[in-house]
Amino acid sequence: MADPDTPFAVVDVHRTLRNIARLRDRADRLGVTLRPHVKTAKSLDVAALLHEGAPPCPVTVSTLAEAEAFADGGYTDITYAVGIAPQKLPRVIALLRRRVRLRVLLDSLEQAVSVAEAAHGAGLPLPAQIEIDCDGHRGGLTPDAPRLPEIGRVLHEAGCLDGVLTHAGESYFAHTADDRLLAARNERDTAVTAAERLRTAGLPVHTVSVGSTPTAHAAEDLTGVTELRAGNYVFFDLVMAGLGVCDLDDLALSVVVTVIGHRPEYGWILTDGGWMAMSRDRGTAAQPQDQGYGLVTDLDGTLVPGLVMTAASQEHGTLTVRDGARLPDLPVGTRLRVLPNHACATAAQHHGYHVIDSGRAAGPAPVIQAYWPRVDGW
Amino acid sequence: MADPDTPFAVVDVHRTLRNIARLRDRADRLGVTLRPHVKTAKSLDVAALLHEGAPPCPVTVSTLAEAEAFADGGYTDITYAVGIAPQKLPRVIALLRRRVRLRVLLDSLEQAVSVAEAAHGAGLPLPAQIEIDCDGHRGGLTPDAPRLPEIGRVLHEAGCLDGVLTHAGESYFAHTADDRLLAARNERDTAVTAAERLRTAGLPVHTVSVGSTPTAHAAEDLTGVTELRAGNYVFFDLVMAGLGVCDLDDLALSVVVTVIGHRPEYGWILTDGGWMAMSRDRGTAAQPQDQGYGLVTDLDGTLVPGLVMTAASQEHGTLTVRDGARLPDLPVGTRLRVLPNHACATAAQHHGYHVIDSGRAAGPAPVIQAYWPRVDGW
């Protein structure tokens, strides 16, 4: 890790595999299919760790660019979990024609009519899921929404109704295990209630999809649910550690930076990793323990006591100490790693990942073993 | 603008040229060379607007990737305005060998020694500027720092001393014209004082460089200064408009998004432009008028009264109204533009710009005339 010019993003494959195994075991116990959201890593190489050796697994994507890249990579079972803009349907149909089972998401009659018309025009089914709102976080229909059966019927009559999908987005603010368990129960109950309402109206519901990283790690009973989604968990981050969903030593993504200056009069160490490398995400600002732009470790991954990245400009990071810690002596040229607030946002600032394996002891600092590119754009 | 799939970034070349002309006229009146910072647009095509038809102008860069891309584009006078990490000097020397006059920045004796040794090893001068701190914003030495003459001497004896550079980073929080004028005076005075101190020590100082977008637009006297830097001004943004440095109709960068849903019970309009498209930057949160993630216009660039992007997830934006405005009727599929908090951060979320010219009236919405790629990475 002394070679590439800083800043650069590092993925620890040892921690990633451990995180992946943890949720896979949970999904197996809960009896549901796991459909990881690949929006966090946006990497075919990271996704390959999800199904090591086995055929590609079902995945969730946040953009059609991801859907296309994963289709190119052999993935044939993909859910595009952002409400569909009708103008994007030609790209969806192009993927369906390549025998990729791509599902779209919608929560309005106008979208359902667009999907039905596009399916009719293309002469093939265009599987769609109805977005259900379980916690007022973002989009979706509540299970008792008057329009729900009508939307279901429009889709069903066009051969497009696949099921329902919900996401407990508010669980990112659930700070206790009890709160996350309640959020998971609510997410499951809401999705199942919506599915039952459609079935009662005579509409077949195949997929009942739930998930978020906090609820996926909290759920105890997913009866009636067919699949579980989560994305952030492959890397985890300071927000998830702050909630208690993971430990700090589960964090698999970090950014390597170099010390470029000191302001001893202010207690600052300056680095070449600014918001361009970390993103502007300050997710922990809303948590009891604000972690600034990130916690700092040495190249080996050991936390430097009390050292936090507290400010960022485009290509400058400012490190300070807290909790009475002594400002460490880190000369110009010293390389450090910064653990991010939000893995999805920090990863998005980079074109790819330098890959290390902290499970292989190989001297004081892990060795870079590969470079894994990311899918970018829309 | 109805064709490309959303979200995508748009640059209005009409506004960009007006912004460029405004600061060029100021620099001419002030009698200083303008050295634009290309870190905002990171585009050779946008940079070409800075010197239309004329040979490439001096530029400032924030990464060596920019320096290399601009060298490839014919720019030969480049300042890399981030404190140099010694490990990066081989790339600097490679550019110098290509007859690019690339200046590096430093504020410590250890960096000066590294630069002197690298210059000696390469057998060529490696021009360096000493970073001066004028307002406690980030790095640099104060003009009275004991080490300043010593650092200057190390550089001078290696044939590397080019001059001094300062940046009034705190001017981004100067909310009145008087405050910005004071910041500009202080920036100039500090740089000139540092230069005089070095000269008094018998050290030649060629370049005395100052600048930030707020101070560049406020300075009235730059006696003793040789060059002015600014970057954000080519596009401007809501932070600069909030300060009063520009008007809302100077903002040249926006992001086109599509309405993908509604939550009338919450007063929300949902779009496909989340933080991936806008960045997580919330610079206006620290201003008297918080503009959320951005103000919303129609495709023509006319503000939709009261409509603000108030929340973002990765690929979702939430629009709400304020000031008692009526929630507008914007059906699924409607395209809008969002004006960003911070142009540098929002631009960085995109691989390039779709280019329009609002000066050419051509129907209700401007027409895309070109696609200009960005330089990314480090």
For residue B311, the chain A residue with the least C-alpha distance is: A138
Q: What class is the A245-373 domain?
A: mainly beta
The number of CA neighbours under 13 Å toward the Cβ of A131 is 28
pLDDT band at residue A86 using 50, 70 and 90 as cut-offs: very high
Query: Is A144 an 8 Å CB contact of chain B?
Result: no
Residues 59-88 of B with CB under 8 A from A: 62-64, 82-88
Distance of CA B336 to the CA centre of its chain: 25
**Cα–Cα dist A47/A42, whole Å:** 8
Q: What is the largest CA-CA distance in chain A?
A: 72
Q: Across the strands, what pairs with B106? A: B130
Q: What is the mean pLDDT of residues B297-303?
A: 96
CB-closest option in A91, A110, A258 to B332: A110
Asked, colleague to colleague, whether B13-233 and B244-373 share their fold, the answer is no
pLDDT tens digits for range B60-103: 999 999 999 999 999 999 999 999 999 999 999 999 999 999 99
Q: How far apart are the first and last CA of chain A?
A: 31
Query: Is B241 an 8 Å CB contact of chain A?
Result: no
Q: What is the mean pLDDT of residues A179-194?
A: 98
Q: Quote the ipTM score.
A: 0.97
**Cα–Cα dist A223/A30, whole Å:** 8
Contact B129, B155 (CB under 8 A): no
Tell me how far CA of residue A197 lies from CA of A146, A164, A190, B21, in angstroms.
11, 11, 11, 62
Q: What is the mean pLDDT of residues B188-193?
A: 98
Q: Locate A30 and state its tokens.
A: 């809960």
pLDDT band at residue A191 using 50, 70 and 90 as cut-offs: very high
Nearest to B96 by CA among B60, B74, B61, B126: B126
pLDDT tens digits for range B245-273: 999 999 999 999 999 999 999 999 999 99
Contact B127, B84 (CB under 8 A): no
Whether the predicted pLDDT of A14 surpasses 80: yes
**Residue A81: which H helix or E strand, with range?**
strand A77-83
Cis before A364 (ω within 30): no
**Cα–Cα dist B290/A370, whole Å:** 43
Question: A278 by DSSP, 3-state: which?
Answer: helix
pLDDT tens digits for range B195-227: 999 999 999 999 999 999 999 999 999 999 999
Region of A301 please: left (phi>0), alpha (psi -120 to 50) or beta: left
**Cα–Cα dist B33/B163, whole Å:** 15
- Enumerate the residues of chain A whose CB falls inside 8 A of the CB of residue B64: 5
Domain boundaries, chain A: 37-230, 245-373
According to DSSP, residue A355 is labeled: E
Whether the predicted pLDDT of A33 surpasses 80: yes
Other beta carbons within 10 angstroms of residue A310's beta carbon come to: 18
Q: Which CATH architecture has domain B244-373?
A: Beta Barrel (2.40)
pLDDT band at residue A362 using 50, 70 and 90 as cut-offs: low
pLDDT tens digits for range A220-229: 999 999 999 9
Q: What is the mean pLDDT of residues A129-145?
A: 97
- Enumerate the residues of chain A whose CB falls inside 8 A of the CB of residue B277: 378
Q: What is the mean pLDDT of residues B285-314?
A: 97
pLDDT band at residue A53 using 50, 70 and 90 as cut-offs: confident
The per-residue pLDDT for B362 is 63
According to DSSP, residue A248 is labeled: G
Residue B138 and residue A378: Cβ atoms within 8 Å?
no
Phi, psi of B183 (to 5 degrees): -65, -40
Cis before B7 (ω within 30): yes
Residues 30-59 of A with CB under 8 A from B: 39
pLDDT band at residue B234 using 50, 70 and 90 as cut-offs: very high
**Cα–Cα dist B40/A184, whole Å:** 43
Burial of B344 (0-12, 13-18, 19+ CB in 10 A): buried
Q: What is the mean pLDDT of residues A151-177?
A: 97
Contact B343, B236 (CB under 8 A): yes
pLDDT band at residue A360 using 50, 70 and 90 as cut-offs: confident
**Cα–Cα dist A288/B80, whole Å:** 39
Whether the predicted pLDDT of A55 surpasses 90: yes
Alpha carbon of B53: minimum distance to chain A alpha carbons (Å) = 30
For residue A88, the chain B residue with the least C-alpha distance is: B5
Residue B315 and residue A6: Cβ atoms within 8 Å?
no
pLDDT tens digits for range B316-347: 999 999 988 999 999 999 999 999 999 999 99
Residue where the block lists tokens 């799939």 = B5
Whether the predicted pLDDT of B138 surpasses 70: yes
pLDDT band at residue A117 using 50, 70 and 90 as cut-offs: very high
Residues 277-306 of A with CB under 8 A from B: 277, 279-282
Q: What is the mean pLDDT of residues A91-108?
A: 98
Nearest to A378 by CA among B274, B259, B343, B372: B274
**Cα–Cα dist A249/A241, whole Å:** 9
Q: What class is the A37-230 domain?
A: alpha beta
Whether the predicted pLDDT of A258 surpasses 90: yes
Whether the predicted pLDDT of B120 surpasses 70: yes
SS (HEC) of chain B: CCCCCCCEEEEEHHHHHHHHHHHHHHHHHHCCEEEEECCCCCCHHHHHHHHCCCCCCCEEECCHHHHHHHHHCCCCEEEEEEECCHHHHHHHHHHHHCCCEEEEEECCHHHHHHHHHHHHHHCCCCCEEEEECCCCCCCCECCCCCCHHHHHHHHHHCCCEEEEEECCHHHHHCCCHHHHHHHHHHHHHHHHHHHHHHHHCCCCCCEEEECCHHHHCCCCCCCCCCEEEECHHHCCCHHHHHHCCCCHHHCCEEEEEEEEEEECCCCEEEECCCHHHHCCCCHHHHCCCCCCCEEEECCCCCEEEEEEEEEEECCEEEEEECCCCCCCCCCCCCEEEEECCCHHHHHCCCCEEEEECCCCCCCCCCCCCEEEECCCCC
Whether the predicted pLDDT of A347 surpasses 80: yes
Residue where the block lists tokens 């997913």 = A222
Cβ contacts of A246 within 8 Å, gap of 6 or more: A19, A233, A236, A240
**Cα–Cα dist B260/B272, whole Å:** 6
The per-residue pLDDT for B363 is 67
Percent of chain A with pLDDT over 70: 99
Residue B260 and residue A315: Cβ atoms within 8 Å?
no
Residue A332 and residue B108: Cβ atoms within 8 Å?
yes
Tell me how far CA of residue A109 lies from CA of A247, B6, B262, in angstroms.
43, 21, 11
The per-residue pLDDT for A323 is 85
Contact A208, A225 (CB under 8 A): yes
The per-residue pLDDT for B312 is 98
**Residue A370: which H helix or E strand, with range?**
strand A370-373
The per-residue pLDDT for B53 is 87
Q: Which CATH architecture has domain B13-233?
A: Alpha-Beta Barrel (3.20)
